[in-house]
Structure 1
Amino acid sequence: MHVKTGDEVLVIAGKDKGRRGKIKRALPAVNRVVVEGINIVKRHQKPRGPGRPGGIIEMEAPLHASNVMLICPSCGRASRTGKRFLEETDHKGRPRKVRYCKACDAVIDK
């Protein structure tokens, strides 16, 4: 997946198109992400005991990962990302794979 938890993203499709937010949770098994304050839905919940009353609860629903675009931390623009290998190696001796911004060519993963 091209985005990770904690990334700032721009929504490029759907009812919240044009809005920005931070990824709260990534669900790579289903290729979806939960973004703070985006895709708010109302859930009708039954009471679940004395500590959890029922009612209409607003919560963030997952978006498909293809509907968000990463905002590059260095140039501040929403851009496509790519992956490349660095010269340095990880703890197993393999080259380290990082994401980079295709607009400014800066490495996103530090």
Structure 2
Amino acid sequence: MKKIRKGDSVIVRTGRDAGKQGIVTAVLENKLVVEGVNIYKKSVKPNPSAGITGGMIDKVMPIHISNVALVDGNGKASRVGIKVDAGKKVRFLKTTGATLSA
């Protein structure tokens, strides 16, 4: 069971974007794509047949899963635990003890 999933609200703990919050939009092997975090400029060639104009675009790049933590109800970083509740594995926040949706 993955501790951080698509749609979770996370906060960046280290790096140049430390302190920024965002929603996970994609989960890769051991990296996450978080909206509004780790944005880089990328040069794009024009493609008239696809209707793409060339130039510089902002692209959201993946960030390693160890550099983020889930946000609890108080807006602080929290670690995630897994426990068995009524025969099912559920995720819970270690700071507040609140269970997370499946």
TM value normalised by structure 2: 0.89
Partner in structure 2 of residue 58 of structure 1: 58
Distance 1:55 1:103 in 2: 45
Q: Could you give the per-residue CA deviations for residues 30-73 of structure 1, whole angstroms, max 9, x where no partner exists?
A: 2111111110001111112340111111010000011100012x
Percent identity, aligned pairs only, is: 39
Is the CA contact (8 Å cut-off) linking 1:83 and 1:99 kept in structure 2?
yes
**What is the one-letter code of the residue matched to 1:55?**
G
Partner in structure 2 of residue 92 of structure 1: none
**Residue 25 in 1 paired to residue 26 in 2?**
yes
Give me the CA root mean square deviation.
1.4
Partner in structure 2 of residue 69 of structure 1: 69
Is the CA contact (8 Å cut-off) linking 1:82 and 1:101 kept in structure 2?
yes
**What is the one-letter code of the residue matched to 2:47?**
R
Residue aligned with 1:66, SS: helix
Partner in structure 1 of residue 90 of structure 2: 98
Query: Number of residues paired by the alignment?
Result: 100
Q: Which runs of 5+ in 1 are unaligned?
A: 88-94
**What is the one-letter code of the residue matched to 2:83?**
R
Where do 4+ consecutive residues of structure 1 move more than 2 Å? 74-77
Partner in structure 2 of residue 5 of structure 1: 6
